[in-house]
Amino acid sequence: MTASPRRVAIFGATSDIAVAFARRCAEAGNRLVLAARDEPAMARLAADLKVRGAAEVSTLTIDFADRALLPGVADDAVRALGGLDVALIAYGLLPDQARMASDPLAAAAALDINFTSPALLADLLALKMEASRGATIAVITSVAGDRGRQSNYNYGAAKGGLQVFLEGLRHRLYKAGVNVLDIRPGFVSTRMTAHLPQKGPLWATPEKVAADIESAIVRRRAVLYTPWFWRIILTIVRCLPRPLFHRTGM
């Protein structure tokens, strides 16, 4: 008897990391539901995923900044596939820290899309998924959430808050057998970081990160640093004594 195809929902499906993950899922014959705001890009992605072998692909158009739409997108995603085995929340944005102090509306919007929205969506998905023993709620945070730094503390605070939220959600879902995976990438060559040089040994491809996400889901890991060496780097960064830390340009 063949196992039924895995049911995967991807929120923020047009993100470069999400696309790489969706392609792996398609090649494994999974059933997919994609949610994103860029409808034409999502339609192109859905067609590509079908060609790559997805058993089924449906799409939901949504701006994740609109909180009122979050319960509907969680409901629709679960209904589209008759339950979920994996939900991946991938959307986010990297704001210009220098602008944040003088533009409270932009700063609040960045905190919202990087913390409030994904946290609320994860909670809504948990309500739908807690009856599905063995399921995974995976959320992309960032190594930036591990310590507040002068260069990106709006983004870092949102991602750090999301890490703590996921820790609590993981605790809550433990008895239900639903795993909550906190994905902490380092530097990844995507549209988000296109303004940076994207060169050197610390930079990873979205495909490498997607492979690490897949393996962390299968192994039911709680926290994934991807690539692996960021766990060591962040251990050092967190341990740096404050007087030394303050002298760095990080």
Ligand X SMILES: NC(=O)c1ccc[n+]([C@@H]2O[C@H](COP(=O)([O-])OP(=O)(O)OC[C@H]3O[C@@H](n4cnc5c(N)ncnc54)[C@H](OP(=O)(O)O)[C@@H]3O)[C@@H](O)[C@H]2O)c1
* Smallest separation (angstroms) from ligand X to the CB of 109: 9
CB 74 within 8 A of CB 124: yes
CB 83 within 8 A of CB 136: no
By the rule CB under 6 A, 154 interacts with ligand X: no
By the rule CB under 6 A, 140 interacts with ligand X: yes
According to CB under 6 A, which one of 17, 86, 87, 210 is a site residue for ligand X? 17
Is the bond preceding residue 95 a cis peptide, omega within 30 degrees?
no
What binding mask, one character per residue, do residues 39-68 give for ligand X by CB under 6 A, x or -? ------------------------xxx---
- Report helix, strand or coil for 6: coil
Pairing of strands 179-185, 136-140: parallel
* Smallest separation (angstroms) from ligand X to the CB of 68: 13
- Considering only CA atoms, which of 154, 201, 178 is closest in space to residue 84? 178
CB 152 within 8 A of CB 197: no
Judged by CB under 6 A, the stretch of 46-54, 69-77, 184-192, 215-223 that binds ligand X is: 184-192
Which residues of the shown chain bind ligand X in the complex (CB under 6 A)?
12, 14-17, 36-38, 63-65, 90-93, 113, 140, 142, 185, 187-188, 190-193
- Give the catalytic positions in this structure: 155
